[in-house]
Amino acid sequence: MPEGQDLTTRASRIARRSEATRAALVAAARRLFVEKGYFSTGTEEIVAEAGVGTRGALYHHFADKQTLFQAVFEDVEEDLLATAADPSGSTGAFARLQAGLVGFLDAAAVSREIQQVLLVDGPAVLGWQQWRALEERYGLGAIRALLDQALAEGAIAAQPLDALAHILLAAVDEAALYIANSPHPPSAHDEAVGTMQRLLNGISA
C-alpha cells in the first residue's frame, strides 16, 4: 500500500474510533442522566458505563460534564424531531402542527427522557437563556415552516407568523413544564392538551 494511502487509512480508522468513543459517552450519559438525573451522576460512572477507559477519554471529547449534558440534550431533541416528522406530507400542515405540539405534550407526560433531560435538568444545568436558545433552534424553525405551509394552504388567516411561532413555542414549552412538574401528570396533561387545542382552534381559518 502506498505511504499516502496508508496514512489516509490510518487517519480514517482513528476518526472512526474517536467518533465511536464520543457516541458511547453520549449514550451512557443519556441513560444515566435519565435514570439518576444530572446532579446525581458522576463522570466516573459515565466513563464506566461507556466502557471507554478513563476520564481522559471524556475530557478529550467534552470540556466538562455540562458540555456532555448539552450533547445529550441535543441528542434527545433530534430524536424527538425525527419522531414528530411526517416526511410524506400526507396531511395538511396545520394538522401536522397540531399533531406535533400535542405529541410533545403526550411525550412530556410519559417519557422519562423528555421529563428529566429536556424539562427538569435542561433549564437548571444549561441556564434559562441557553435552554431557551436550544428550544428555539430545534422547535421554532419547524413550527414556522408549518405555519408558512398552513397559510399557503388556507388553513390559517394571514397574520404575523414570526410572532405566532414564538408564542406557540413558548406555550408548548410552558405546558410541557407544567406537566413534568405537576404532582398529577395525567391530569395536568389533559388540561394542557385541552388548552393547546383551544388555542390552535382559535388561529385556524
For 47-72, what is each residue's pLDDT tens digit? 999 998 889 999 999 999 999 999 99
Q: How confident is the model at residue 132 (pLDDT cuts 50, 70, 90)?
A: confident
Closest of 21, 31, 27, 59 to residue 43, by C-alpha: 59
| Contacting residues for 169 by C-beta, under 8 A, at least 6 apart | 135, 136, 139, 140, 143
The per-residue pLDDT for range 137-171, each reduced to its tens digit, is: 888 988 999 999 999 999 999 999 999 999 999 99
What the block records as the C-alpha cell of 55 is 476520564
- What domains can be seen in the chain, in order of their start residue? 1-62 (1.10.10), 65-205 (1.10.357.10)
